[in-house]
Amino acid sequence: MDIRENIRIAIFSIRTNLMRSLLTMLGIIIGVGSVISIITVGNGSRDYIIGMIRDMGNSAINITVDGNIAQPSDYITSADIEAIKELDIVDYVSPYVMTMGSMTVNDENAFGILVGGNTDLRFVTSGDCIYGRFFNQAEYDAGRAVGVIDATSARQLFGRANVVNEYVNFTYNDVVTRIKIVGVTDMASAFGMDSEEMMDNMQAMGGAQMSSGMLIIPSTLSMQIMGSSDSFDTVYIMANDENDLDGAGNAALNRLRARHNNTDRDCYIVTNMATYIDLLDTVINIFTIFIAAVSAISLVVGGIGVMNIMLVSITERTREIGIRKALGAKTSTILMQFLTESIILCLIGGLIGLLLGVFGAAVVSHLMNVPLQVKLSTVAIAVGFSSAIGVIFGVYPARRAAKMPPIEALRRE
């Protein structure tokens, strides 16, 4: 008997006992469906999150002054930034200054965040403007009251995205600064923190229910608003080759130490932003695999159900087995017949589970606003798991049927 005949007999047996077969497949369907959903959503979420981080500058190095060790003379100055930018290995350098206060738009108050930097900040944060433009060098040098708002903040404050040439009044320590919006960026975050998330955190700590907004402004303006001197505790560096981030960080660190003559103290912390991407990728993969493994336990339960129904099927078809063996069917032929039936049963359940799993992943991805990514490896997992369950839990019933003595089988009613 060839494999095609085994498949035909297996499908006939499944159709003859359709309801029983469907109930037997249920464990396989649930197991495969849940595993596929988790893996698909996990892959989509991972790629989406890592993609956002890469868009914010995957070739960025962060240098922060350790306030517990540093002296006032150790802080980074504009001259230091210019010196770092002269390095051949460095493309862009920008200070990073964050200021929090309140914003007023059309007599309505909102929680406000100002992110200060120079003209290179747009490259570090990949903050290309969808409306208007980024502030230029002349505006930076003069410390003019101009800024770039992200689209999320614009919608919260003005009710629309294109708010170029509108004004925002920012209050810090009871001093009001009127800032003109010259551009709107499609980046709704500055290094992982968007205005809505900040507002949620404020509300969780008991903050008032209000709108919130974030503006990217010249750091020279930030210094005026805060009344501080020309010194920074954080600077971001973009390497011209993302494969040499560590080299760019070390070169910038050495230049800072040489300029401030503080090589004897580790007062600077260098962070390679790419390491966060790798770490995040690893963590998400571990959680996805762990949750998928827990869900796969139902596959074992489904496999036990397959074994049970195959034993029942063998009992019901004892005379059939006896007749086949009496007519000369080999032990291996009987074994392959029932093993094929077990595999077909699990494969059908696996394919149904795959379809349901993809559908469930599509729904979850839509609700989470992450891309749906059904990879070929995911389909291979569904087929592989189903086949493995069919083989593992079908071997014992198939061997029992194959080893059944024909005379004993023919005696049974």
278, part of any domain: no
Q: For position 133, what pLDDT does the model report?
A: 92
Q: Are strands 129-132 and 167-172 parallel, antiparallel or unpaired?
A: unpaired
What pLDDT score was predicted for residue 106? Answer: 85
pLDDT recorded at residue 207: 45
Where among 273, 294, 309 does a domain terminate? 273
Q: Are residues 191 and 214 in the same domain?
A: yes
Domain endpoint, select from 241, 273, 305: 273
Residue 303 shares a structural domain with residue 246:
no
CB 390 within 8 A of CB 28: no
Which amino acid is residue 94, in one-letter code?
S
* Per-residue confidence (pLDDT) for residue 53, from 0 to 100: 59
Tell me what pLDDT residue 69 has: 87
Q: Are 195 and 207 in contact (CB under 8 A)?
A: no
Please indicate, yes or no, if residue 179 is contained in any of the structural domains: yes
Q: How far apart are CA 350 and CA 29, in angstroms?
A: 6
Question: What pLDDT score was predicted for residue 181?
Answer: 95
Per-residue pLDDT tens over the stretch 122-141 = 887 766 788 999 999 999 99
Q: Are 117 and 146 in contact (CB under 8 A)?
A: no
Is beta strand 234-239 parallel, antiparallel or unpaired with respect to 167-172?
Answer: unpaired
Domain end position, chosen among 273, 304, 334 = 273
Predicted local distance difference test score (pLDDT) of residue 205: 37
pLDDT of residue 127: 63
The amino acid that residue 140 corresponds to is Y
Domain that holds residue 242: 60-273
pLDDT value at position 410? 58
- 230 lies in the same domain as 363: no
* 136/244 same-domain check: yes
pLDDT at 311: 78
Residues 41 and 144 in one domain: no
Q: Report strand pairing: 175-185 vs 146-150.
A: parallel
Confidence at residue 194, expressed as pLDDT on a 0 to 100 scale: 46
C-alpha distances in angstroms, 138 versus 77, 141, 145? 19, 5, 12
Residues 48 and 64 in one domain: no
User: So what's the pLDDT on residue 193?
Assistant: 44
347 and 223 part of one domain: no
Task: Note whether residue 238 is domain-resident.
Answer: yes
Q: Is residue 141 part of a domain?
A: yes
- Identify whether 7 is part of a domain: yes
Strand-pairing partners, residue 161, are none
Residue 320 shares a structural domain with residue 249: no
DSSP 244: G
d(CA 226, CA 145): 13
The reply to whether 287 and 223 lie within a common domain is no
The pLDDT, as a whole number, for residue 206 is 35
What pLDDT is recorded for position 218? 94
CA–CA separation, 99 and 226 (whole Å): 8
In a domain, 208, yes or no: yes
Enumerate the β-bridge partners of residue 104: 109, 169
Q: Which residues contact 22 (CB under 8 A, 6 or more apart)?
A: none
Q: What is the pLDDT of residue 203?
A: 43
109 and 224 within one domain: yes
What are the tens digits of pLDDT across the range 296-320?
777 777 778 878 777 777 777 777 7
Determine the longest span between alpha carbons in the chain, in angstroms: 103
Note the pLDDT of residue 408.
62
User: Do the domain assignments include residue 105?
Assistant: yes
* Domain assignment of residue 24, yes or no: yes
Q: Which residues of the chain are modeled with pLDDT < 70? A: 1-2, 48-59, 126-127, 187-211, 273-278, 295, 402, 406-413
If phi > 0 it is left, if psi is from -120 to 50 it is alpha, else beta; for residue 129 that is: beta
Residues 248 and 312 in one domain: no
Residues 41 and 65 in one domain: no
Write the burial class of residue 119 (CB in 10 Å: 0-12 exposed, 13-18 middle, 19+ buried): middle
Total count of domains within the chain: 2
